[in-house]
Each structure stands twice: as structure tokens, then as C-alpha cells.
């Protein structure tokens, strides 16, 4: 391959990575502001301005970075950066506003699931390395929460992959394959209900991934004074703050890619820059709606759960709910195959 072509491809990748990083940081903070504003209005408060998350980050970067006396300083200072870099890396594998992922066909859902663990693991390591008893308790709770919600999350991913494999898709864990064959168009009525159940399960998993109420016991301010982050300040705390914002975009984008990978421009017959603009706006609206239902409404409506309640919730009700969704999809496939109903469903527009 020509050296000039390789250099040009590398330059495009670098510029794209910078652009995606800026997008994730800016809109991550923006949607944090929207979430805080909406939740405040739901509770009868005025709430902070939309720009408050940006002001918070700027202020934190100007504050002194304090390292506890009993902390393992190099670990304490290093893990916030690792968490932020890992979270930003996930965006490179996600489709944004109808555009192919920057690292197209170089990653899949399995890789994304592994990368999603790193930010939470960084907080756990940071909590243990701080030497604070409050942070240690928070780290233990975070590990228990991670173990709890990974099981239903795995069932959701496996269900989608199994259905794609039955439909003859070659790379079932590729987001590009999932977007090319939206799951809603491949199932009958019972399978449609199954995917609705899986979507509901993923929506409930999302606040635990983001450590939001009611699943924020690792950081519970009223119980363990901030838990994992109790000893963090200055730029380290700012990086964890940014990680939370970017991870919000990541989880919302993942839900959109799996369940709502549609664009408006083909429906409206638009082309060129106008199509790009409409698709980007539509994508941002979808992200807002996902955050509204998976983060804002849940944390406003439900009080914080205890750690044993969190583990029980994910291991029993949510896991069983996910399995019911998988069973519905399997029965739907069996009914269509054994009774030859697929042509009929296609004719009446159900698939």
C-alpha cells in the first residue's frame, strides 16, 4: 500500500478521534445540565443553569489537586485518566448520527462491554488506593453492583446476537451489522414484545452503569460521604466528572444503535449537507429521550436502594425479565419457522 495513502488514512483517523472526543466531552456535559434541569423542574425546583456542568469542570481544574497522606499517590492520580480515556475510546466504536464508527469493523459489542468495565474499575481502584474507609466501602459496593448488572446486560446482547445469527447475519456482534438489519424488522408480534422487554431491561441497567439514583449506593453522599470519590478533588475529580458525562453519551448511543438505528433523511428524501444536518439533530433528540427515560425519570421517581436491594433487583427481577424477552424471541422464531407464518407477517407488514 502506498505510504501517502496510509499517512492520509492515519491523519483522518487522528482528526476524527479529536472531533469525536470533543463531541463526547461537550455533549456529555450538556446533557448532564439538561438532566439536572429537567429533574429539578420535576421536583418543583428551578435547578442550575444548563451551563453549570461546564462551570463545575472549569472550577475543578483550577483547584488544588489534593492527595491523601495514606494514598498510593501514583495509582490515585493515574486511574481518573485511565477511566476517561477508556470511555472516550468507546465512542470511536459507536455510530454517531448515522455516520459509521470511526474504527469501522475494528470492534464489536464484546469489546464495548469490556471497555465499559474500565471506568467503573478505575473508580474501584481509585477508592481502594485512597486509603479512606468511606472510599473502601464505596469500592466494595461498586464491585457488587458491577457483578449484578453485567448478567442481564449479557443476556440482552446475547439475545440480539442470537436473533441475528438465525437471520443469517455473518458478524452478529458487529454494530454495523445490527444497524444494517434493525431488529424490529426481523421479528413477528411475539418477538416484538420480546425486544420491548429487552429494551426495558437495558433502560434499567443504564442508571447502574452510570451510578445514578437509585443505584448510586457506591457514592451515597448521605451514607458514606461520597464513597469512591470522597478523597478526590481538583483535576482528578474533574476527570471523573467528565468520564460520567461521556459515559452518559456512550450508554445512550449504545441503546440508540441497538434499538433505534434509524435516520430521518431517507424517509424525507434528503441528500447532502441537509441530510447530515437532519440526521445529527434527530440523533441528538434520540439521545435526549433515552437519557430522559433511562436516567432522569428513574432517579426522580425512585429513592436510593441499599446495596443488597440493588444486587437482588438485577440478579432476580431484571435477569428474569431479560430471560422472558429472550424466550419470547425464541418462541417467535419457532412459530414463524414451524407454522410458516413468516410470508404472512411480511405480507401484512408485521416484519
**Axis crossing angle, helix 73-91 with helix 3-42, rounded to the nearest 10:** 100
Instruction: Quick: pLDDT tens for 132-169.
Output: 888 888 888 888 888 888 888 888 988 888 888 887 77
Range of the structural domain that residue 140 is part of: 3-347
Instruction: Quick: pLDDT tens for 279-319.
Output: 888 899 999 999 999 888 888 888 778 888 888 889 889 99
Cell 445514578 sits on residue: 212
Cell 460520567 sits on residue: 244
pLDDT mean over 219-229: 71
Whether the pLDDT of residue 350 is over 70: the answer is no
Burial class (CB in 10 A: 0-12, 13-18, 19+), 22: exposed
Tell me the pTM: 0.86
Q: What pLDDT sits at residue 344?
A: 43
Burial class (CB in 10 A: 0-12, 13-18, 19+), 206: buried
Instruction: Quick: pLDDT tens for 252-281.
Output: 999 998 888 888 877 777 777 788 888 888
Q: Is 96 helix (H, G, I), strand (E, B) or coil?
A: strand
The residue among 37 and 11 whose pLDDT is bigger is: 37
By residue count, the chain amounts to: 351
C-alpha span between 299 and 192 (Å, rounded): 27
Structurally, the chain folds into a number of domains equal to: 1
Percent of the chain residues past pLDDT 90, beyond the cut = 13
pLDDT mean over 218-230: 72
- What is the distance between the terminal CA atoms of the chain, rounded to a whole angstrom? 44
Amino acid at each position: 500500500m502506498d505510504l501517502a495513502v496510509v499517512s492520509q488514512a492515519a491523519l483522518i483517523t487522528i482528526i476524527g478521534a479529536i472531533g469525536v472526543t470533543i463531541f463526547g466531552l461537550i455533549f456529555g456535559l450538556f446533557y448532564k445540565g439538561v438532566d439536572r434541569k429537567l429533574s429539578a423542574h420535576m421536583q418543583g425546583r428551578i435547578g442550575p443553569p444548563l451551563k453549570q456542568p461546564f462551570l463545575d469542570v472549569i472550577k475543578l481544574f483550577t483547584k488544588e489537586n489534593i492527595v491523601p497522606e495514606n494514598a498510593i499517590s501514583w495509582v490515585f492520580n493515574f486511574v481518573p485518566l485511565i477511566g476517561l480515556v477508556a470511555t472516550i475510546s468507546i465512542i470511536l466504536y459507536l455510530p454517531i448520527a448515522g455516520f459509521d464508527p470511526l474504527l469501522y469493523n475494528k470492534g464489536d459489542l464484546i469489546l464495548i462491554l469490556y471497555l465499559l468495565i474500565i471506568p467503573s474499575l478505575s473508580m474501584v481502584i481509585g477508592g481502594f488506593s485512597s486509603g479512606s474507609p468511606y472510599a473502601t466501602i464505596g469500592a466494595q459496593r461498586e464491585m457488587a453492583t458491577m457483578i449484578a448488572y453485567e448478567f442481564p446486560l449479557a443476556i440482552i446482547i446475547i439475545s440480539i446476537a442470537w436473533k441475528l445469527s438465525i437471520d443469517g447475519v455473518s458478524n452478529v456482534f458487529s454494530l454495523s451489522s445490527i444497524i444494517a438489519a434493525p431488529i424490529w424488522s426481523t421479528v413477528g408480534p411475539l418477538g416484538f414484545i420480546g425486544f420491548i422487554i429487552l429494551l426495558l431491561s437495558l433502560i434499567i441497567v443504564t442508571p447502574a452503569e452510570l451510578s445514578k439514583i437509585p443505584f448510586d449506593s457506591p457514592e451515597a453522599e448521605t451514607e458514606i460521604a461520597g464513597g469512591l470519590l470522597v478523597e478526590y478533588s481538583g483535576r482528578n475529580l474533574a476527570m471523573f466528572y467528565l468520564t460520567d458525562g461521556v459515559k452518559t453519551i456512550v450508554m445512550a448511543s449504545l441503546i440508540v444503535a441497538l434499538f433505534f438505528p434509524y435516520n430521518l433523511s431517507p424517509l424525507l428524501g434528503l441528500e447532502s449537507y441537509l441530510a447530515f444536518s437532519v440526521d445529527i439533530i434527530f440523533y441528538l433528540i434520540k439521545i435526549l429521550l433515552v437519557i430522559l427515560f433511562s436516567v432522569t425519570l428513574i432517579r426522580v421517581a425512585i429513592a436510593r436502594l441499599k446495596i443488597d436491594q440493588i444486587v437482588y433487583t438485577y440478579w432476580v427481577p431484571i435477569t428474569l425479565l431479560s430471560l422472558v424477552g429472550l424466550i419470547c424471541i425464541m418462541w417467535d422464531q419457532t412459530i414463524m419457522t414451524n407454522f410458516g407464518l413468516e410470508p404472512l407477517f411480511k405480507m401484512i407488514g408485521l416484519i
